[in-house]
């Protein structure tokens, strides 16, 4: 069976990696991808806990809380896998992104965010498609416009702009937000562009 993995990563914490991983997996299931595996490579296990609290039919969770386990889990993927990663660990990030078919880098609008994304980009081999997703975006603000302009100047593709929504912030306390699913549908499209 052909396999494809999307690694969701950023060295920065709290930017939306786990939220993006869950929504991308759910979007993939909604689109009919089968099997869909969510590999949780973060020892905090936020994705795994989310799906324990609110299971989503069609997503299999694999907990892989070490570099070794993550590499093994990614190597065994059948079908589509989305990989949630821990923040702040260059070694693990580099080891995992080396295996990526596509890398999704969640970020926030705002100047302080750029340098952490740039450091994350340095870890990704040049041949691997990558794009940023601006998470919890405040639509219509100058901050957001400036962020979009900045990424365009850097020639980094923007694969999605996900609005800031209470329904998305609710995480595992609520069912997935329809607006969130729609936003991540675009991200999935872009990430899968090179597949098949």
Using CB under 6 A, list all residues that contact ligand ATP. 13-19, 42, 46, 87, 135-136, 162, 164-165, 168-169, 171
Q: Is 25 in the site for Mg ion (CB under 5 A)?
A: no
Q: Is 12 in the site for Mg ion (CB under 5 A)?
A: no
Least distance in Å: CB of 91 to Mg ion?
Answer: 18
At residue 130, what are phi and psi to the nearest 5 degrees? -145, 155
Cα–Cα distance, 156 to 104 (Å, whole number): 11
Nearest to 190 by CA among 3, 6, 1: 6
**Tokens coding 43:** 């020892």
* Element containing residue 37 per DSSP (H, E): strand 36-40
Q: Is 108 in the site for Mg ion (CB under 5 A)?
A: no
Contact 160, 134 (CB under 8 A): yes
14 binds, among Mg ion, ligand ATP, none (CB under 5 to 8 A by kind): ligand ATP
- Residue 40: count other Cβ atoms within 10 Å of its Cβ: 27
Q: 5, 9, 10, 18: which one contacts Mg ion (CB under 5 A)?
A: 18
Place of tokens 């989503």: 56
Angle at 42 between CA 72 and CA 73, to 5 degrees: 15
Cβ closest to Mg ion, residue 12 vs residue 130: 12
Least distance in Å: CB of 118 to Mg ion?
Answer: 20
133 binds, among ligand ATP, Mg ion, none (CB under 5 to 8 A by kind): none
Q: Is 10 in the site for Mg ion (CB under 5 A)?
A: no
Residue sitting closest to Mg ion (CB): 18
19 binds, among ligand ATP, Mg ion, none (CB under 5 to 8 A by kind): ligand ATP
Contact residues: Mg ion, CB under 5 A: 17-18, 46
């Amino acid at each position: 069976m052909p396999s494809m993995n999307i690694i969701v990563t950023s060295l920065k914490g709290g930017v939306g990696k786990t939220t993006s991983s869950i929504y991308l997996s759910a979007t993939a299931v909604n689109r009919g991808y089968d099997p869909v595996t969510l590999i949780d490579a973060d020892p905090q296990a936020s994705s795994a806990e989310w799906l324990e609290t609110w299971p989503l039919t069609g997503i299999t969770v694999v907990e892989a809380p070490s570099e070794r386990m993550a590499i093994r889990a990614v190597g065994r993927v059948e079908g589509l896998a989305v990989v949630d990663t821990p923040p702040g660990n260059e070694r693990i990030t580099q080891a995992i992104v080396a295996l990526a078919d596509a890398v999704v880098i969640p970020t926030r609008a705002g100047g302080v965010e750029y340098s952490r994304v740039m450091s994350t980009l340095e870890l990704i081999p040049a041949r691997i498609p990558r794009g940023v997703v601006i998470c919890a975006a405040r639509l219509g603000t100058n901050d957001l416009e400036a962020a979009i302009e900045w990424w365009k100047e850097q020639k980094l593709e923007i694969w999605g702009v996900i609005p800031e929504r209470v329904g998305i912030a609710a995480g595992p306390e609520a069912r997935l937000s329809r607006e969130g699913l729609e936003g991540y549908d675009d991200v999935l499209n872009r990430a899968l562009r090179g597949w098949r």
